[in-house]
Structure 1
Amino acid sequence: MGVGARLLPRRNLMVLKAEGLVNDGTALVVYGLAVGVTVGEEHLGVLHVSWLFALSYVGGVAAGGLVAWLGVLVRRRVSDPLSANLVFLLIPFGSYLLAESTGSSGVLAAVTAGLVISQTSPTTGSAEARRQIVASWSLGTFLLNGALFVLVGIEAQSAVRGLTGTTLARGLAMVVVVALVLSGTRIAFLFVSAYLIRAVDRRPQQRARRVSGRARIVSGLAGFRGAVSLAAALAVPVTLDSGEPFPDRDLIVFVTFGVIVVTLLHGLVLPGVVRWARLPDPAADGAEERLAHETLLRTALAALPEAAAEVGADGELVDRYRLELEAALADLAASGSPDAFGRDPRDTALHLALLVRKRAALVRLRAEHRIDDTVLVALETRLDIEELRLTHPEAVD
C-alpha cells in the first residue's frame, strides 16, 4: 500500500481501496461458511449455503447501517472531544458485535459503518474531536497491524515445526501455485468485468471512467493483501467439534504466510510496471485540489457581507478580509499555491463564520463528485487546524 500510494494516481488508488473493502468482506463471508462446514457447525446444501450467504450480506449491511446511524445521532449531541472519540471507536465494534450476534457478517457491518461515518464526519462533531479521532485511530490501526504480523510470525514458526519434510515441500509448491492463481485470477477478472460493463452500460459517464488494459495490469499487481488474510489464518480453529485436530491447519497457516510474502514482492516490480503502463504522474493530481481551494475562497468572498452582518463586524475589517481573499485568489491563479488558509485575523467571530461556509462548500463539492474523499480530508484537516488556532490555540502550539 505504501508503494502504491507513491506510484499510482489518486483515482487508481481510491479504486484499489474500495475494492479491498468489498473483497475482504466477501472473502471472509465465504471463509466463515467454509470453516463452519469443516468443523461440523454447518452442512453443505445449495439452499442452506445460499441462505447463510444472503444473511451474512444483508444482515451485516443492515447492522452496520443501524449502528452507524445511532452513532451519528449520538455524536451530534456530544460536545466533549474525548466522549466523541469514545463514541467513534465504539461504532465499528458495536456494528461487528451486533452482526455476529445475529449470524451475519461482522466484517461487512464494520465496513458499512465505516462508509456511513466517512460520509457524515465532515458535518458531525467539532474540529477538536475530529483531530483527536484521526490521531488515535491512526495509532490504533498501526498497533493492531503490528500485533497481527507478530502473531502470524509466531504461528508460522509453529506451523513449520509441525510440518514434515514432504509436507513442507508440498507447502512451498502450493505457495507458488496459489500466488500465481491469485494474481492471474485477479487480472482476468479485471478484464472480463470491464468488458461486461462496457457491453451493458454505454452511457457517456461510464465511458469517461474507462481505463486502459495496461492500467488494469497495474491494478491486478497492486491489489492490497496482508492483514485480513493473516487474521483469517490465525482464526482457523485448532480442533473440530468432534475434538479432532483441524485438518492441515499448519499447512493453511504456512501457505497463507508464504503467499502474502510472495505477493508483497510485487512491490519490487511495480515501479517498472507503472512506467510501462504510462499512468499519469501522481504529482499531476492537483486539479481537484485547485478547484476545491478556489471554490472555498470564492465561497468565503461571496459570503463575506452575510457573515459580517451575522457577527456585527465593522466595515474596515470586512474590507481587509476582502483584500486578503482577492489576493489569495490571485496567488492561486498565478502559482497554483493553496497558501490561503494560514491567516490569523483579529476578528475571531468573522473568521469562524467564514469557516462554516467553507466547510459546507467543501462537503457540497464532494456530494457533487467534483472532488474525492482524499481531497476532502486534506482540506478539512486544514480547516479544522485553522479553527483550532482560533478557538484552542494551546492545542496546536
Structure 2
Amino acid sequence: MAADEDVLTGVVYASTYLVRGLDRSPRQRTLRVGHRTRVVSGLAGFRGAVSLAMVLSVPQTLDSGVPFPDRGFIVFVTSGVILVTLVVQGLLLPVAVRWAKLPPDTSVDAEHDLAETTAIEEAVEAMPELAAGLRSEPRIVEWLRQEYEAHLASVRARSAGVRDDPAVLQHRDYLALRLALIAHKRATVVRLRDERRIDDTVLRRLQAALDGEEVRLSGGAAVE
C-alpha cells in the first residue's frame, strides 16, 4: 500500500544524483543539499494519496453487474494502512527535523528588511511633496519625519545584526509601551461596557480597531 511513497522517496534521492551526474557546473554545486535535508524531504511527503486514489477507483460492480468482490474490505484495509502511516509519519517527522539540524531560512528576513528599508526611505523623500500637496501643518510633518527616521534607524541596525544598537532598543521600548497602552485601552472599554455606559456594538467596534493596531505593532515586534 505504501509503494507510492517508496517510489516518491526513491525519486527524491535518484534525481539528486542524476542531476549531479549531468550538471557539474560550479553553480550547481552551490545548490546541493545534504542527505539530512533529503531525508526530511522524503519523510515530509503526503502519505497515501496515490493509494487512496487507486482504491477509490475500484468499481462498485463488474461488467456483468455483479458487485466487485471484497471491495469494502479493500477500502477498509487501505484506509487503515494510510491512517497508521500518517500517525507514524507525524511521530517521526519532528524527530527527523531535529536530527537534520536544518539551517534557518534567512532569505525572508533579508527581503523583509530590504522592502521595509526601501519603503521608509522613499516615504521620507516623498514626505515634503506630499505634505505640501495636503497642506499639512509643519509640526505634523516634523513629528512624522522624526518617527519615520527613528524607525528607519532601527531597521538598518537590525539588518546589520546590531541588536544592542540604541535605535533598536528605543524602537523595542516604543513597541512595548504601545502594546501595553492598547491592553489598557481594551480593559477600559470593557469596563465601560460592564458599567453600561456603552453597548456591545460600540465595544466590538473599538475592540476591532484595537485588535488591528495590536496586530500591526506585534508584526513589527516579531521581526526584532
1:224 CA drift (Å): 1.8
More displaced stretch, 187-196 vs 217-226: 217-226
Q: Aligned partner of 1:319: which letter? A: E
Tell me what 2:19 maps to: 197
Tell me what 1:213 maps to: 35
Tell me what 2:92 maps to: 269
Change (3 A) 1:213 1:308: same
Structure 1 residue ranges without an equivalent (≥5)? 1-177, 345-391
Distance 2:7 2:14 in 1: 10
1:239 CA drift (Å): 2.4
Is 1:252 paired with 2:74?
Answer: yes
Q: Aligned partner of 1:200: which letter? A: L
1:212 CA drift (Å): 0.9
1:393 CA drift (Å): 4.7
Q: Aligned partner of 1:239: which letter? A: T
Is 1:321 paired with 2:141?
Answer: no
Tell me what 1:174 maps to: none
Change (3 A) 1:232 1:306: farther
Q: Aligned partner of 1:255: which letter? A: V
Number of matched residues? 168
Q: Aligned partner of 2:120: which letter? A: A
- SS for the counterpart of 1:309 is helix
Give matches, 1:147-158, under 5 Å: none
Tell me what 1:331 maps to: 154
Tell me what 2:190 maps to: none
Is 1:186 paired with 2:5?
Answer: no
More displaced stretch, 257-266 vs 325-334: 325-334
CA contact (8 A) 1:294 1:329 kept: no
Q: Aligned partner of 1:320: which letter? A: W
Distance 1:232 1:322 in 2: 63
- SS for the counterpart of 2:143 is helix
Higher relative contact order (CA 8 A, sep 6+): 1
- SS for the counterpart of 2:47 is coil
Q: Deviations over 1:259-304 (max 9, x none)?
A: 2123211221223323332322xxx434522431342232232243
Change (3 A) 1:208 1:320: farther
Structure 2 residue ranges without an equivalent (≥5)? 179-207, 214-224
Give matches, 1:295-314, under 5 Å: 295-306=115-126, 309-310=129-130, 312-313=133-134, 314=136
Percent of aligned positions with the same letter in both sequences? 43
Give matches, 1:1-397, under 5 Å: 178-179=1-2, 181-225=3-47, 230=52, 233-234=55-56, 236-264=58-86, 265-280=88-103, 284-306=104-126, 309-310=129-130, 312-313=133-134, 314=136, 315-332=138-155, 333=158, 334-335=162-163, 393=209, 396=212
Distance 1:209 1:255 in 2: 41
Distance 1:245 1:308 in 2: 79
CA contact (8 A) 1:236 1:249 kept: yes
CA contact (8 A) 2:120 2:152 kept: no
Q: Between Structure 1 and Structure 2, whose CA radius of gyration is higher?
A: 2
TM-score by length of 1: 0.35
1:248 CA drift (Å): 4.3
Distance 2:52 2:128 in 1: 56
